[in-house]
Structure 1
Amino acid sequence: MDIVLGLQWGDEGKGKFIDLISENYDITARFNGGANAGHSIERNGKRITLKMIPSGIFMKEVQNVIGTGTVLDPVSFKKEILNLQLFDHTIQPEKNIIISKKAHLVMPTHKLLDIFMEENPEYTTIGTTKNGIAQAYSNKILRQNLRVGDIWSPDFQSRAQHILYRDYKMLEDGGMIVLPALEEISKEFFDAVDFLKKFTCTETEIYLNNALSKGKRILAEGSQATMLDIDHGTYPYVTSSSTTAAGACSGLGISPKKMGEIYGIAKAYCTRVGNGAFPTELLDEFGDDLRMKGNEFGSNTGRPRRIGWLDLPALKYAVMINGVTQLVLTKADVLNGVKSVAVCTHYELEDGSLETVSGTLSENIRPVLKWMNGWSADFVNMKSGSELPEELKEFLSFLEAALEIPVTYLSTGPGREQILKMK
């Protein structure tokens, strides 16, 4: 099993890379997160954002697994499937998507609870997508939730209705004016559950391990990114699941002994959405220009992303804990034409000491920047890494030496084919 992971704060371009290489695999498997993810893929000049559906869906011979470590919102899933079929009517998702019976359900009231907590001054506001993901995971841990496999139980409707009523009453008691009405969200939810029953739901751990024993190739797909990991990210401004290589194993039920290549995706600069420490953040006109040039707006929410220089201490940390074997670098083309580019090589702490590897960021650290010559090139017609300008080659060599892993792919534009295989 090979794994594709984001190494920063998300939005690194995982969907494009998975779409590109998934033809080399028999199965793509999503191991974490829910509809809070957004993997953008371009096809025939059109762009679509996948949320729950694995990015291998456009390969007709590839099976796509939504694994046990995910949380599935039936309402969002139904909308995503219908949107996908409008985008490409040749896709037959009911034949190419397999869902874990053990994946937990996102209830409609989970979204309302998410909104309530984000807007209530009694709680820490972290800037979530308000998709109810944390509430689903927290109820999973509290053992108060329902799973996909429960939808076939004869008492499912009464159990689900009890949860919806309980949550709705809690929100009303908390002073929230709850819209839409309970009856309306209940009907939409149960209609979506009926739609969900059209899909194959099984014990995906057994399915995936049987596939591996038969020599099938699996590509594990992570959502969000390492610095948003619930344990290893910039807590509390993180997601609610494990986004690391270890999370792929637990989320899919596959032994770490069966891991192969671990592809880490990173931008040539940094972005993040929502609150939290961001040592290299650019709060000037250049940052604004880079946001527009790179189209740095959330694929799921449309929110403007915060922009910063490449952060090596955080990137080294992500490479270390994931055991990354190959680096895929994106957005170098966005820096095209910039006279000088910077990379944060160290953090200077309050006591004057320096950190070169770090996963614990605070507002009180100063980034130490290394400035390098910028590059200018015609990326549109570029076919080989040998055609890259010397300044960009030096930038890539610097990263390889610092991270001790090879840059094997370089994205040169937003298009599906705009990526160079370097090695």
Structure 2
Amino acid sequence: MGNLVIIGAQWGDEGKGKIVDILARDTDIVVRYQGGSNAGHTVINERDTYIFHLIPSGILYRGTTCIIGNGVVVDPSALIEEMDQLQTKGIKIGKNFAVSQRAHLILPYHKAIDRAAEQSKGSRKIGTTGRGIGPSYADKMARIGIRMGDLLNPPLFRKKLEENLVEMNWFLERLYKVETFQVDKVFDQYMGYAERLKSHIIDTTTLLNRALAKDKTVLFEGAQGTHLDVDFGTYPFVTSSSSSAGGACTGTGVGPTMIDAVMGIAKAYTTRVGSGPFPTELTDEVGQGLQARGREFGSTTGRARRCGWYDAVIVRHAVQVNGLSSLAVTKLDVLDGCKELKLCIGYKHKGVLYKEMPADLEALTDCQPVYQRMKGWSASTTGATKYAQLPVEAKRYLDRIEELSACRIDMISTGSKRHETIIVRNPLKCSRRRPRS
């Protein structure tokens, strides 16, 4: 078995949680490498429905270690709440779960600044969830962030908190005209979190590299999707971290030579949450139908997702910037009953035809999608577990997705449950690295 990165190939919400859940059964470690509690992965198995925000869904398997890497920003309150909810459902969280000492904290002032800054933007809103993700990453890059390991050193934590609140309270009071924070109150609150989490806060980089040296199999789990990546997404309508495959290395401390393959997850159509360009968006009854059948509402925020036809341009871009070795196509069953399907194969803007994704935000926002029409299918694909069970039109649709993306399809999801999946090839059975001499 090889070491595999799982990454969203669209704008997030592609169904990564289910794919990670299936593959985690055969892995030793699952590590989340970026994002925060704004992410939501839903897993449905024979026991229950589970919604994950920070903890990798591999926690459902005994013998699988789950790690929150240094590239994640952690809201300890949200983490503890998630731990409690999982334990209430009988999921053990002990030595099988660890958080990097180097992961940055989300503090109350981050959430306040996030909400106030978004509100002040008016029509220029990014669509942030207000959970403090962006401001925490901003502090990290400004070198004033406070890390999980600082919770284990109360005097140091208090000193950093006092220094930061001088500036943060000024912004909150003078610029945004909202309530400020008291050092003592925040300190006491976070020391309570520290008491609960201290046994899980360790040097996860060393743990991971030692495991790899013993030939353990590691699954790297990304949040959001490629086109929310701060560098390669539809900037500025993006998240604040490296949600592309490169973030797996910087977000865990594992070198790129230790990763064997990268799998991109893409819906059989396209969705997006929040603001930003969406060339294939459908605002008519077709889009409403996709939204209803696909139950396109965020597991974290409950926000309705915008829906549109499959965009081969953005997936091809994801293949390029992530070096994807394969794809998993999810929610194929949502297209059941569509008489005609459309695949976006390019964009037209001001007389120019774009076959590759433009960096120009205006071109993305104002372009007209160029579609290829394909015949749909009336037979149900829900619950199919073998490729041979699919209607011929569905096979042609998938073949065209492979051709347009120049990337093979290894997995196809045909429903929300774990077993409603077609595994064409096991993506973990990728070529292993050469043994060290």
**TM-score > 0.5 by shorter chain:** yes
| 3-state SS in 2 of match to 1:379 | coil
**Which residue is equivalent to 1:192?**
193
**Which residue is equivalent to 1:354?**
353
Residue deviations 1:255-277 (CA, integer Å, cap 9, x gap): 11121121110001110111111
| 3-state SS in 1 of match to 2:57 | coil
**Which residue is equivalent to 2:422?**
420
Deviation at residue 172 of structure 1 after TM alignment: 2.1
Measure, in 2, the Cα distance between the counterparts of 1:255 and 1:300. 31
Deviation at residue 187 of structure 1 after TM alignment: 4.2
Residues 152, 194 of structure 2: 8 Å contact kept: no
Measure, in 1, the Cα distance between the counterparts of 2:336 and 2:78. 38
Residue deviations 1:97-135 (CA, integer Å, cap 9, x gap): 111111111111101110000111489420101110110
Q: Which shifted more, 174-183 or 261-270?
A: 174-183
Measure, in 2, the Cα distance between the counterparts of 1:330 and 1:265. 7
Measure, in 1, the Cα distance between the counterparts of 2:93 and 2:182. 31
Unmatched segments (≥5 aa) in structure 1 = none
Q: What RMSD in Å do the two structures reach over aligned CA positions?
A: 1.9
Residues 75, 188 of structure 1: 8 Å contact kept: no
Measure, in 1, the Cα distance between the counterparts of 2:188 and 2:338. 53
**Which residue is equivalent to 1:170?**
171
Residue deviations 1:234-256 (CA, integer Å, cap 9, x gap): 00000000011111111111111
Measure, in 1, the Cα distance between the counterparts of 2:181 and 2:50. 28
**Which residue is equivalent to 2:53?**
51
Measure, in 2, the Cα distance between the counterparts of 1:177 and 1:65. 36
* 1:142 matches 2:134: no
Amino acid corresponding to residue 199 of structure 2 in structure 1 = K
Measure, in 1, the Cα distance between the counterparts of 2:386 and 2:329. 15
Match of 1:7 among 1, 6, 9: 9
**Which residue is equivalent to 1:220?**
220
Amino acid corresponding to residue 35 of structure 1 in structure 2 = S
How many aligned positions are there? 419
Measure, in 1, the Cα distance between the counterparts of 2:373 and 2:242. 34
Measure, in 1, the Cα distance between the counterparts of 2:84 and 2:189. 15
Deviation at residue 188 of structure 1 after TM alignment: 3.6
Q: 1:180 to 1:150 in 2, by over 3 A?
A: closer
**Which residue is equivalent to 1:401?**
403
Amino acid corresponding to residue 408 of structure 1 in structure 2 = D
Measure, in 1, the Cα distance between the counterparts of 2:62 and 2:267. 29
Amino acid corresponding to residue 49 of structure 2 in structure 1 = R
Q: 1:381 to 1:66 in 2, by over 3 A?
A: closer
Amino acid corresponding to residue 231 of structure 1 in structure 2 = D
Q: 1:10 to 1:401 in 2, by over 3 A?
A: same
- Percent of paired sites with the same residue: 39
Superposed, 1:106-145 pairs within 5 Å as: 106-121=106-121, 124-145=124-145
Deviation at residue 150 of structure 1 after TM alignment: 1.1
| TM-score relative to the length of structure 2 | 0.92
Amino acid corresponding to residue 192 of structure 2 in structure 1 = D
**Which residue is equivalent to 1:153?**
153
Measure, in 2, the Cα distance between the counterparts of 1:221 and 1:196. 22
Residues 312, 345 of structure 1: 8 Å contact kept: yes
Deviation at residue 391 of structure 1 after TM alignment: 0.2
**Which residue is equivalent to 2:320?**
320
| TM-score relative to the length of structure 1 | 0.95
Measure, in 1, the Cα distance between the counterparts of 2:176 and 2:247. 37
**Which residue is equivalent to 2:262?**
262
Superposed, 1:204-219 pairs within 5 Å as: 204-219=204-219
Measure, in 2, the Cα distance between the counterparts of 1:419 and 1:280. 26
Residue deviations 1:43-99 (CA, integer Å, cap 9, x gap): 33632211110121101100111111111111111111111112x22x221221111
Residues 314, 359 of structure 1: 8 Å contact kept: no
Measure, in 1, the Cα distance between the counterparts of 2:121 and 2:238. 19
